[in-house]
Amino acid sequence: MPDDFEVFLNGVPQRPGSDFAVEGRTLVFERHLEQEGRLGLWRWFLGAWGIGTYRQDDSVDVRYNDAAGRPQVAQGLPIEPPASDGAAG
């Protein structure tokens, strides 16, 4: 991951240290994030009739400069659930 980059969550700039942390090449957010994924047949059918079924659908984008110094944006990065620590309780 480049040293100089900007992170946006749902289009809102995020601050390292308070909004997210960097662990290796991974951005780690304290708050719960989700991507909606594919619509099922029932939700697609309701949407076709104008009946909204809304779910959380977060989007993470990163703006950085490539090796040649050109600005780049990685949009809609995949969101992964936190790794389980394996503790049973």
Instruction: For residues 84 and 89, give the distance between their C-alpha atoms in angstroms, rounded to a whole number.
Output: 12
**Stretch 24-38: mean pLDDT, rounded?**
81
CA dist 62 → 12, 21, 39, 45, 76 (Å): 11, 14, 26, 34, 9
Question: What pTM did the predictor assign?
Answer: 0.71
Nearest to 73 by CA among 88, 62, 58: 62
pLDDT value, residue 89: 46
pLDDT value, residue 15: 95
